[in-house]
Amino acid sequence: MEENVVFRFNFGGAVTTPQPETLLKNINAGIGTVAEQPSLPSPTPPEEVFPSEDEESASCVMEPVVLQGGLTLLKGRVNSQSVLKVANSDLIPGKYEGGLKLWECTIDLVEMLRREIQDGQLSFRGKRVLELGCGHGLPGIFACLKGASSVHFQDFNPEVLKTLTIKNVQANLEQARAGLVRVNSVSPDGIASNKGLVVMPDIHYYAGDWSELHELLSVGRSCSSGDRDSGSPDVRMNASDFSEPKPESDSNELKSISHNGSRNRPARKLSGSRACERGHTSSAQECGYDIILMSETVYSLASLPKLYELIKKCICPPYGVVYVAGKKHYFGVGGGTRQFKHLVEEDGIMGAHLVADFADGSSNVREIWKFFMK
């Protein structure tokens, strides 16, 4: 148990550990060679987790998560001791990967996605979305409320999905039905609300280690001319695709932002991910995910290669994008956003763009990166 407590302490970045330069040398020498990485048990086969009537009827304490712009989502409160027999620990490698805790980078990611939509840099309408390491699932839930056609949630532990993720999804969609959340109307088929229409996306839940998960998830493939339907238009990008369009937001959100004094920002160039909006529609043949969301998934140096390999298998080429929220360095565990960025750039098939960072001078720096096909 002492080892577990150490992991929890290190997750906050409060311990003096090897410098980032040393960690980067480890990456150059071969990811996964850090001596202190424990020997993990063989991963259990991946599985799809289905909601059950018993779980749906079971009581769960829901708490509000108030985000910027007046958006409020719901999250369940689950006792880790009762679910996984895990006490006083945020991480037990190979057994429990922290899915029952709402990490601060998850909130960062949801709020950043909202800003990306308002700035015209992102749209979930009709998109296929995958949230890896979902835990509470708030980013994926936000995608549901913003018109995604399909949202798949993945977590290492099936117990997390059964006792937390599924209940969070159901509670937030019920809240939307009650008209407590204003959403974009994107389809005649959806959940009626007195403030709009919530599209009912195709929702699935998957558990298991990243190494074999592609066997269950939607796998991407080349969307070249040979893969397109004969009637599909040829998509060509030009300079106009990288200028900011009019934001798509409802009036309540715009009023809220204007009140906070941050609505009238200068236009900025798009980072290349706008192709996700222009190059794929819901009518296209299924081939992977348009948007992959992750928060606090890059903490383990040893797991970064299999995470990146899964992303490459599941992303829809050539216009898919990946949003990664995490700490710049996870001291004592070896990973971090910069280590993941280094791995991606070494591979050379994806570009990287720093969307936001959060530094208060007293705690670990948090970052959000956007990765897109070159």
Instruction: Return the SS3 of 41.
Output: coil
Alpha carbons within 13 angstroms on the beta-carbon side of residue 309 total: 12
The pairing of strands 366-373 and 321-327 is: antiparallel
Q: With bands split at pLDDT 50, 70 and 90, how would you rate the model's confidence at 39?
A: low
Locate 324 and state its tokens: 């990664």
pLDDT at 197: 56
CB 77 within 8 A of CB 164: no
Q: Which of 94-103, 179-188, 242-251, 274-283 shows the highest mean pLDDT?
A: 94-103
Summarize the confidence of residues 241-255 as an average pLDDT: 38
The DSSP result for 168-220, as a single string, is HHHHHHHHHHTT-S------SSSEEETTEEE---EEEEEES-TTTGGGTSPPP
Identity of the residue numbered 236: R
Q: With bands split at pLDDT 50, 70 and 90, how would you rate the model's confidence at 3?
A: very low
For 120-160, the pLDDT digits (tens) are 999 999 999 999 999 999 999 999 999 999 999 999 999 99
pLDDT at 253: 35
Phi/psi of residue 58, nearest 5 degrees: -70, 145
Q: With bands split at pLDDT 50, 70 and 90, how would you rate the model's confidence at 206?
A: very high
Asked whether residue 248 carries a pLDDT value surpassing 50, the answer given is: no
Phi/psi of residue 205, nearest 5 degrees: -130, 135
Locate 63 and state its tokens: 């708490």
pLDDT at 121: 94
The percent of residues above 70 in pLDDT, for the chain, comes to 62
Q: With bands split at pLDDT 50, 70 and 90, how would you rate the model's confidence at 83?
A: confident
The percent of residues above 90 in pLDDT, for the chain, comes to 48
Summarize the confidence of residues 298-319 as an average pLDDT: 95
Exposure string of 102-113, with b = 16+ CB inside 10 Å and e = fewer, is bbbbbbbbbbbb
**pTM to 2 decimal places:** 0.72
Domains located in the chain, CATH noted: 58-80+97-184+199-218+286-373 (3.40.50.150)
pLDDT at 177: 80
Segments in the chain forming alpha helices (H): 2-11, 20-29, 53-57, 80-84, 104-118, 138-145, 158-160, 166-177, 251-260, 275-278, 304-314, 337-347
